Structure 1
Amino acid sequence: MDFTFLGDMFASLLKGLPLTLNFWVLSLLGGGTLALILNLMRTTRIGNAVAGAYVFVFRGTPLLIQIFMIYYGLAGFGFVRQSFLWPFLREPYWCGLLALILNDAAYTSEILRGGLRAVPKGAVEAGRVSGMTRFAILRRITLPLAFRQALPAYSNEVISMLKATALVSTITLMDMTGIARAAISETWRAVEILLCAAAIYLAISLLVTRFSAWFERRLSPWHFGRTTP
């Protein structure tokens, strides 16, 4: 195995890491915000129907098709090309980011909904008895408890979104996977290049897994048999 080539390849792939991290972080932030909105919509009958349809569509179709539909499909509508959104939607970066956000929101909303359902009713009733407003109960009781319940599942979604960012390379974006694809077409050394890319993704996933485990212990020290220092 050519270790000199591997070292050069790692250095080349790391040039695409900032774009990968950019997509990853922004898609999680945007998806999390939209997921919270979707769950708030579920408090009404019409909103629940709309949110349910949204989740069904974006969870039931491949992310790659969603990226292609946004990047290639929207350009086929004249009103889109004439709208104020066209300067953004004609750029692969914004199309890729929009697809990732919409997809992440569908999965995160279901994770959050499961966490909200797991919040003890007694905790909410205690907040009402103590005189808290609905917003205060949501901010100080419901959301923190729901987040704690949803954390294990959400950590898996975080890692899934990291891997999903690789799909933006299909619309000409040069993230780590895009650089790897270009290098393979030039050198035909697919095994070494893909191993380098996989190692970087694995390293980031390991950091997320360790941080999630640490954060879970901090949120529930009694569950792990010790107290928080």
Structure 2
Amino acid sequence: MKALIVRGGWDGHRPVESTELFVPFLRDHGYEVRIEESPAVYADDRVMAGTDLIVQSVTMSEITADQVAGLRDAVAAGAGLTGWHGGIADSYRASADYLQLVGGQFVTHPAKAPELREGGEEDNYLEHLVTVTAEGRTHPVTVGLADFSLTTEQYWVLHDDLCDVLATTTHPARAWQPWHRPLTSPAVWTRRWGNGRIVVTTPGHSLDVLQDPSVRTIIERGMLWATRTQTEQGA
């Protein structure tokens, strides 16, 4: 099996260090790992045709029409796509074709009360619960996992009905926020695209979150589940 890690974009999500956490796991499970520092590889038809799993960690940044077309085509042909946090849910904001592929887009992470903010990224760290859905309780990516709490950025994402939501998180309506009732947002979802499988995990802002046992389990299981199946490989 061949895994392609594509990383880059905003340095605040530490794309190099975060992806390196998962390279040993992939190699231990029999993957040949190739690492690229930009999405330019997506336009290489030969490389993409031989890739079984794409792990992307590219926050914001830009993608060209031929690159996103190559990514979409590879997934439709059976390659898996997965990633976490802004590396997949806040990538290539200007590309509608990319957003349609992954099915969800980061829009905000609510902050603490104004009087508690000190001007750093910790202003956006909120304790919140990640709740496994009924579907998630039986899905291979999340089966057996209990609900769990995190203190980190709590992503609010826009999504569509093709997403199979395995876990959610609820944003409360606090006095300093402009919304008027709690909002439940997907925290983990899967998606089918042609013959391919997609897994998006929204927690993962920092290395300590990625090493949380529940988060890491979801990401690693997601890699295995998304990988091109033997049937898709033509076996």
Give the TM-score normalised by structure 1.
Answer: 0.24
Higher helix proportion (structure 1 or 2):
1
Rg: which structure is higher? Answer: 1
Higher strand proportion (structure 1 or 2):
2
**Which structure is higher in RCO with an 8 Å CA cutoff and minimum separation 6?**
1
